[in-house]
DNA sequence: GCGTGTGAACACATTCACAGCA
DNA sequence: TGCTGTGAATGTGTTCACACGC
């Protein structure tokens, strides 16, 4: 079974094949493996990798098994090899150009964030509507008007956008993003966006994450 | 069944009772309900609420049923009432003081983020180790040295911290946070933290989110 | 009629346990 | 012996379908 057929479609129009939960763990495995690789660790077993991340060994093996056979019995997995495989699966073995929509507080922080580049993402353009930032340069990028998005998308063959505008502006900005031909949005605005189902959407709501944390703390102390 | 017994412990030492997935949807419901409430919407049915968020009506009803009976047959749920109930469940009906650890790029953006206050969180202190920011004032808060954390925690009765330092500094910072008596960490550093199991931990890795988005886009286009 | 609350049925995800390979 | 890959068993979460209340 090759990687290509193993993912997504099975030709019959049915959906999943690879559970969503597995894919999200893939990113965690990748992060940990890169960490190990930097510490000169050549191979790792499913049990050790699992222990490091809080999963069982069986789960680690089964997760990888969705995509092929990457391990060596008696040895484990070769870190560098597995890193390449996971990147290939995620599609991040090649760099993705990205446009940032919204250059306020959060947008500027994201622009300065080194972690994106490290994982194969390159912010190549920034747009906004606010005259306060239009034309200014941040991290070497001049902020363009959002109306130029279709052109920018075409020029850089963009497929994904990071949306980091205030909640009130999010729906409009999302509309413009969709019209520009982009098919993936990482949304930081605390608003539920409705996108056609051929467009991918990931929502990150910082306040929601804090709420989840609060609940967990609250609960452990029996509500006090 | 009162709310208090319904959550967490059943006295036997067994764990879940309320699935984690349910709790994370609770935050989404809350956000949507607050949105509806602001648009003067008095009541909402499980089917409409579900449609707005992409869930089935049954799931919405079952989620709430974990915590009690909040709906009115033939009517639906009263928005304001449900908002209060969810806040009570999450523990955010009272404001949570929070300390920010790390005042770089990301930390400063989080400090300026209005969304936290809106959901009942108040950043009351900021600490760092970098001389470049120590003593400076951001959003009305003076940046203290991280060594002062135990004192700060006591003074404000803090229970949760937001960790926003570079990956290389994360483990040390986390140690100091744990020693200060804090029992909940929202970690933005792309590093797996190991914390005792009485401490709650939520990890937000921005690059991982982009990876997940990339995979989803990649997949939909059959890998091209 | 409309809409909740909920046991029962179903689908999905995780863990177990073992055959097989280095 | 150490460790992978995987069917079978278990466990968890979601959806169905219907009794009941407004």
Is the CB of A23 less than 7 A from some atom of nucleic acid strand D?
no
Average pLDDT over residues A24-41: 98
Tens digits of residue pLDDT in A171-218: 999 999 999 999 999 999 999 999 999 999 999 999 999 999 999 999
Main-chain dihedrals φ then ψ at residue B101, nearest 5 degrees: -110, 110
Determine the Cα–Cα distance for residues B65 and B58; give it in Å rounded to an integer. Answer: 10
Determine the Cα–Cα distance for residues A182 and A178; give it in Å rounded to an integer. Answer: 6
Quick check: A81 pLDDT over 70? yes
Quick check: A15 pLDDT over 50? no
Cβ-contact B127, B99 below 8 angstroms? yes
The percent of residues above 90 in pLDDT, for chain A, comes to: 90
* A150: CATH: 3.40.50.720
Nearest nucleotide (C1') to the CA of residue A68? D5
* A54: CATH: 1.10.10.10
Count CA within 13 A, CB hemisphere, residue A217.
Answer: 23
Question: Could you tell me the two tokens for B78?
Answer: 């009263």
Residue B224 lies in a domain: no
DSSP A95-114: PEEEEEE--SHHHHHHHH-T
Quick check: A14 pLDDT over 70? no
- Give the closest residue to B196 by CA, choosing from A30, A59, A220, A28: A220
Residue A219 lies in a domain: no
Residue with tokens 């239009």: A134
Mark whether A101 and A47 lie in a shared domain: no
Residue B215 lies in a domain: no
Residues of chain B under the 50 pLDDT cut: 1-16
State residue B15's pLDDT score: 40
Q: Which residue has the higher pLDDT, A208 or A15?
A: A208
Mark whether B80 and B146 lie in a shared domain: no
Instruction: Please give the biggest Cα pair distance in chain B.
Output: 62
State residue B208's pLDDT score: 98
For B24, the closest chain A residue by CA position comes to A212
State residue A221's pLDDT score: 82
State residue B224's pLDDT score: 63
Mark whether A191 and A104 lie in a shared domain: yes
Mark whether B101 and B202 lie in a shared domain: yes
Residue with tokens 């792309």: B190
Determine the Cα–Cα distance for residues A198 and A184; give it in Å rounded to an integer. Answer: 9
How does DSSP classify residue A70? -
B89 touches chain A (CB under 8 A): yes
- Give the closest residue to B89 by CA, choosing from B14, B9, B26: B26
Closest partner CB to A105 (pick from B90, B109, B219): B109
Structural domains counted in chain B: 2
Residue A105 lies in a domain: yes
State residue A223's pLDDT score: 62
Quick check: A16 pLDDT over 90? no
Closest partner CB to B119 (pick from A185, A186, A210): A210
Count of C-beta atoms within a 10 Å radius of residue B117: 12
Residue B216 lies in a domain: no
Mark whether B111 and B204 lie in a shared domain: yes
DSSP SS3 for B125: strand
User: Gap from B177 CA to D4 C1', in Å?
Assistant: 39
For residue A224, how far is the Cα from the chain centroid?
36
**Burial call A72-108: b when 16+ CB within 10 Å, e when fewer:** eeeebbbbeebbebbbebbbbeeebbbbbbbbbbbbb
Mark whether A56 and A132 lie in a shared domain: no
Question: Could you tell me the two tokens for B14?
Answer: 């067994």
- Give the closest residue to B187 by CA, choosing from B172, B171, B169, B201: B201
Structural domain containing residue B65: 3-88
Is the CB of B51 less than 7 A from some atom of nucleic acid strand C?
no
């Amino acid at each position: 079974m090759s990687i290509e057929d193993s993912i997504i479609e099975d030709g019959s129009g049915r959906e999943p094949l690879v559970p969503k939960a597995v894919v999200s763990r893939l990113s965690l495995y990748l992060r940990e493996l890169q960490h190990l690789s930097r510490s000169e660790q050549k191979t790792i077993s499913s049990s050790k990798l699992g222990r490091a991340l809080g999963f069982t060994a069986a789960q680690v093996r089964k997760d990888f098994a969705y995509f092929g056979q990457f391990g060596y019995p008696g040895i484990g997995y070769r870190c560098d090899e597995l890193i390449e495989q996971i990147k290939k699966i995620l599609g991040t073995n090649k760099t993705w150009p990205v446009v940032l929509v919204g250059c306020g507080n959060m947008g500027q922080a994201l622009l300065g964030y080194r972690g994106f580049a490290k994982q194969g993402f390159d912010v190549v353009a920034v747009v906004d509507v606010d005259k306060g930032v239009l034309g200014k340069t941040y991290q070497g990028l001049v902020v363009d008007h959002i109306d130029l998005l279709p052109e920018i998308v075409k020029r850089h063959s963009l497929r994904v956008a990071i949306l980091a505008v205030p909640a009130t502006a999010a729906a409009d900005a999302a509309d413009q993003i969709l019209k520009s031909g982009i098919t993936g949005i990482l949304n930081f605005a605390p608003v539920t966006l409705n996108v056609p189902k051929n467009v991918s959407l990931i929502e990150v709501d910082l306040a929601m994450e804090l709420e989840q944390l609060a609940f967990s703390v609250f609960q452990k102390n029996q509500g006090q």
